[in-house]
A and B are shown apart, each in its own frame.
Chain A
Amino acid sequence: MVFVAGRIAAAIPVLALVLIIVFLLVRAIPGDPAVVLLGPGATREQIAALRDQLRLDLPAPQQFLEYVAALARGDFGLSLKNGEPVLREILLRLPATIELTLMAMFVAVLVGVPLGVICATRANGPLDHLLRLVSLVGVSIPAFLLALLLQLIFASYLGWLPVSGRTSALVTEAPITGFAVLDAMLRGDGAAARSALAHLVLPCAVLAAFLAATLGRYVRNSMLEILGEDFVRTARAKGMTRPRVIYVHALRNALLPAVTILGLKSAEMLGGAILTETIFAWPGIGRYMFEAIRNRDFPVIQGTTLVFALIYVMTSLAVDFIHGALDPRVRRKML
């Protein structure tokens, strides 16, 4: 309990600073929202009146306090682009991003962990080198290049997979949960579910490539560290079989840091979602944020950046808790 409370207490000042950073950043971006909103032909008076209405001319500290007070009420403001509540617009797009990132995490674990185990057990052998090189490509390739290559190969030349989007254009039903695959299954529509899955493959592969490669590298390294430790050597010397040492001792202990990495990197992955969502026309919050920056839609930039940061803070908290639950030593160390 003390541990949980302590971690949450530690997160509060961080969140306060996050709020301040977001607020200052958005104010620093050039471009007058009132000019954007009014369009061509607006007079100075109209612009001034709108600025007044949007409370843009108040002193910054007062604007900040009003902003925080509104956030506390769950009010993220209205989008300058279409006048809709920002929180609503974010929630409309959040399922798409969550669907994509969860799926990518799942794939990354499925690929990354075995990758790391294989490399560690064959350390410095040819297979290790080959797989490490492949995973190095995974962490080194720019997301936009990988997306482009996959699109060209699998959608354009081979025609195996859809080029972009979340569902076939013929699926136009209103979302139930917002998760395309789940919605199709709830409707009992197998074809739509398959189509939604097929649409997930390429963007998911782009996001998962980085995570799987990172995970594989971590699992390999921490397994090697553990395999080099005395207790493992002792176990081996005592006659424990090699597979037993590897899977029972080494892998279990190696998964602990992997959980940490998975948590932190998957939050980081949301950043990669900006590029991926834009290229694959994926209607999530990454693309929403980037378009908001282009349109100088300040409340939306503020809202999405904040959501990104919140997800990150919450993920790292969750990682701490899981870590603490798995390993009592951590609980002591972190306090």
Chain B
Amino acid sequence: MHGMGGLAHFLRSNRMASFGIVLLGLILIAVLVGPIFYEVSPTRLNILKRLAPPGPDFWLGTDSLGRDVLARLLHGGRVTLVVGCSVVALAFAVGVTIGMISGFAGGWLDWFIMRLADAMLSFPSLVLAIALAAAFGPSLENAMLAVAITLMPQFARVARGQAVSVSVKPYVEAAVTLGLPRGRILLRYVFANGVGPLLVQATLALGAAILQTASLGFLGLGAQPPAAEWGADVSINLDFVRSAPWVALAPGAGILLTVMAFNLIGDGLAEWMDPRRRAVI
């Protein structure tokens, strides 16, 4: 495995990934530290100053209900990062567990789980997410759950692939013959050796999760008012985009930059794990 030196080398050699990390760092600082200095409520109405242009009172202007756009951007960013991380964490935990069980158990259980994953992957993910979110009822938590479910089969597949390829390795077979408990073998060998591809998958899934949840929010199936959430904020301010473009474009840009940061890092990681891609003739 690569050590700390490897990481430093990775950052030096991969400018795209470093750019992603810097971008993500800036976003993190903005949304975590920003609200401490910019102490404006994202939900306080100021109906007389609706759709004010950016200026000294409201740095990024106000929205259609007179709420501060910058405050909503910063707080919405927190929501977006929490959404991305928890959706992927849930999808990862459930998907990987199921995938490893499937790969290690084999037989009809493996067959059934993989067919189920195939079936779920047969829906365009937004279609499945819309249907699930509608079924659960509109709320941010339900939208997150819906998106997590659509991501699970991908993790399950990668994890199963790792489990299958690792479980035929001599040292795992040896461990089984030695009578070590299956659970421990799974965790120790399969997970430890297969973690690389899963990590890449997870980073890329972060971007996808944020995009999907924002799309659900845009369609009214996500966060409920007055919560600040970037996708929903684009949607509710669409009507005003001609007279006050900043109101819808600011949260839109937020989504774009955050997803881009995760994709940059994911790409870099993938490249790092697979040195062939760095080759030039």
Contacts and interface: CB of A to CB of B under 8 A. Distances in A.
B197 to A, nearest CB: 14
B242 A137 contact: no
Contact of B119 (A14, A270, A290): A14
B256 A14 contact: no
B124 A21 contact: no
Interface residues of A, number: 58
A124 B14 CA distance: 9
A156 B131 contact: no
Contacts of A267: 124
B256 A142 contact: yes
B276 A271 contact: no
Q: Report whether over half of chain A's contact residues are helix, strand or loop; otherwise say mixed.
A: helix
B124 A270 contact: yes
A27 to B, nearest CB: 9
Contact of B125 (A225, A271, A275): A271
A264 B150 CA distance: 16
B116 interface: yes
A80 to B, nearest CB: 15
B130 interface: yes
Interface string A39-57: 0000000000000000000
Contacts of B234: 142, 144-145, 148
Nearest to A279: B238
Contact of B276 (A141, A145, A228): A228
Interface stretch (B25-33, B88-96, B212-220): B212-220
Interface in A126-157: 129, 132-133, 136-137, 139-145, 148-149, 152, 156
Q: Report whether over half of chain B's contact residues are helix, strand or loop; otherwise say mixed.
A: helix
Given A14-B119, A25-B135, A142 B281 contact: no
Contact of A152 (B126, B130, B241): B241
Given A14-B119, A25-B131, A274-B126, 6 more contacts: A15-B119, A144-B235, A148-B248, A152-B242, A224-B279, A313-B122
B252 A268 contact: no
Interface of A: 13-15, 17-18, 21, 25-26, 28-30, 123-124, 129, 132-133, 136-137, 139-145, 148-149, 152, 156, 217, 221, 224-225, 227-229, 232-233, 236, 242, 245, 267-272, 274-275, 289-290, 293, 301, 305, 308-309, 312-313
B76 interface: no
Contacts of B134: 29, 293
Given A139-B263, A228-B276, A18 B15 contact: no
A280 to B, nearest CB: 14
Given A25-B131, A129-B15, A312 B124 contact: yes
